[in-house]
Structure 1
Amino acid sequence: MPTEPPPPGTGALFEAPAAVPPAVRPAAPDPALTSLAAALPERLWLGTSSWHYPGWAGLVWDKLYDEGQLSQEGLDAYARHPLFNAVGLDRGFYRPLSLAQYADHAGQVPADFRFVVKAPSRVTDALRRGSGGQGLKSNPDFLYAELAWRDFLAPAGEGLGEKLGALVFQISPLPGAWLGHMAPVIERLHGLLRGLRARAPATPLAVEVRDPHWLTPDFVAALKDTGATYCLGLHGKMPPIAEQLPVLRALWPGPLVCRWNLNLRHGAYGYEDARDQYSPFDKLVDPDPDTRAALARVIAGTVGAGQPAFVTLSNKAEGSAPRSVAALAEAVLAAAARR
């Protein structure tokens, strides 16, 4: 009995090409990390400040890949790590990303994944800087709302959609002469936040600073008036976590956005030293259990009150961001159990 020809598109000449396996593969799941992730509270998004480190082979990747390949093709594998449901997207600080680039990132991660995105330095640095980081002249675009909307908030919001966790305005260290006269600088920030809030009422905005001179009642009032939050920046240029918590308490209730960037033992200018000492970022070199425990208590209190928490950690916090995330997750469970 003759058979009917296959419908169009199903015959041998029309077969779809085989799916191409991802070029970067995740490490085999660690059952202990999978169990740890399942026990974490809801509304907690944990991750690292980027994903392009070859030294994470065996921790995040199945084998050694080069940095360029990981940067271009590693996000899908990164998002398969049991504990990683967030990541910092910092590279836009140096050059704004396009809507298409944001959308491409969003397309590589699960629906419950979130990005913590850093604003371009053109908006957040008071100075135009040379290739070595030295300040050359004043930046006329500093805290300019229209530029922030066009080059940052609009493309990030549309491209990432529901996968946007928080937009972080990390304000670079101010010129020394400004630090004794913070009122006009805070008013300038207030204007930026007002302008953005008028166009995007629900977008999560967070402000991270690198000068303790910002931490004043006027700064808190500017954040509160615009529905923005304070990004807890754990870095040598800022006081320890306990001295920053009054700002969060003044804004309560609200979300937690935290970026643990650098171990305090390296001081304000220790990025290069930390990088050299910690590379290839596969082990905890300088564990900081005190900061970890304090942060865990803040996280447990935030999510326990029904607020979201977005926390990213750098390799330069303790030596290995994946291992720091695991240690912090365990501390969060311990802190939640004591509540």
Structure 2
Amino acid sequence: MPRQSPVPRVRVGCAGWSIPTGCAALFGEGDSLLARYATRFSVVEINSSFYRSHQRRTYERWAATVPAHFRFSVKVPRTLSHDTGLVGAGPLLDGFLDEVAGLGSTLGALLLQLPPSLAFDGRRVAAFLGALRRRTTVAVVCEPRHASWFDPRVEALLQRHGVARAAVDPARLPAAAVPGGAAAPAYWRWHGSPRMYYSDYAETALAALAAEVQRHATVNAPAWVIFDNTAQGFAVPNAARLQALLADPTDRAARQG
């Protein structure tokens, strides 16, 4: 019987699976970029789904490329998060969830990033999350960007629907820098600071993040960290450095499995 890889307590990865030329030595061999990426990291965020749909068989192919312990976080399409304003989204949810079902057990989370203009409306959000939860039990992570979302009543609503709130950098306000909502997964999205998508993170910032992640991560509430500063190739070395700072033996064993 094949050896089962342990489930990582902390998952570290990037938005997309591009590998900068200068980082090639960090990865093992593979038949594709995704296969090589998965020799190092245990999670990846699919952001292209925000802009366009992918056929179910495309997701199936990606799932077949990675080891069993690997997980995908898939960004909810902008037609749902931005264009509809979370209203009347049932048919669109059905189509999207049918597509991502192709990932099977490697589908780890759905990422709902909301537009900065979308203020919190309790009735609207409850209806949308209720519709989503009637259709899937997959972990859901929300990244709100309007100040009205950082309020105890929002926390209660997210927890009631089992939705985590991502911690982001740069943060628009202090509360946005720490995870909220449901406990699992504790989820960080670091976009690059001070220049989003471009800036490299200094050692001091990564060390502080490692300490924060270790405080949150438990067996029952794993931590996920995604680096989105991909424009100049800093996401991969930042993610690799965070792995070293965390020095988590379970995560190392999973990557070697």
Common fold: TM-score over 0.5: yes
In the alignment, is the contact (CA less than 8 A) between 1:116 and 1:310 conserved in 2?
no
Cα deviation 1:153-181 (Å, max 9, x = unaligned): 3321x21111112100011221xxx6xxx
Paired with 2:20 and 2:231, the residues of 1 have a C-alpha distance of: 18
Taking only the aligned residue pairs, the percentage that are identical comes to 27
**SS of aligned partner of 1:52:** coil
Q: Which of the numbers 52, 62, 86 marks the counterpart of 2:18?
A: 52
5+ residue gaps, structure 1, are 1-37, 64-71, 126-138, 279-284, 335-339
**RCO comparison, higher one (Cα < 8 Å, 6+):** 2
What residue in structure 2 maps to residue 31 of structure 1? none
Tell me how far 1:42 sits from its aligned partner: 3.4
**SS of aligned partner of 2:217:** helix
Change (3 A) 1:320 1:43: same
Cα deviation 1:276-335 (Å, max 9, x = unaligned): xx6xxxxxx441523x2343233213333532222211235996222111221233249x
- The TM-score, its normalising length taken from structure 2, stands at 0.81
**SS of aligned partner of 2:99:** helix
5+ residue gaps, structure 2, are 249-257
Paired with 1:333 and 1:61, the residues of 2 have a C-alpha distance of: 17
What residue in structure 2 maps to residue 302 of structure 1? 216
Cα deviation 1:199-256 (Å, max 9, x = unaligned): 22x21111112233321122212211211111222235x235x6543x62xx464321
Q: What is the correspondence of 1:1-339 to structure 2 with a 5 Å cutoff?
A: 42-60=8-26, 73-81=32-40, 84-125=41-82, 139-140=83-84, 142-156=86-100, 158-174=101-117, 182-184=119-121, 186-200=122-136, 202-235=137-170, 238-240=172-174, 244-245=177-178, 248=180, 251=181, 253-263=183-193, 265-266=194-195, 270-271=196-197, 274=198, 285-287=200-202, 289-290=204-205, 292-304=206-218, 306-316=220-230, 320-333=234-247
**SS of aligned partner of 2:134:** helix
Tell me how far 1:104 sits from its aligned partner: 1.0
Q: Which has the larger radius of gyration?
A: 1
Change (3 A) 1:252 1:108: closer
Paired with 2:27 and 2:98, the residues of 1 have a C-alpha distance of: 33
- The TM-score, its normalising length taken from structure 1, stands at 0.63
Paired with 2:87 and 2:109, the residues of 1 have a C-alpha distance of: 18
**SS of aligned partner of 1:169:** strand
RMSD value, Cα = 3.2
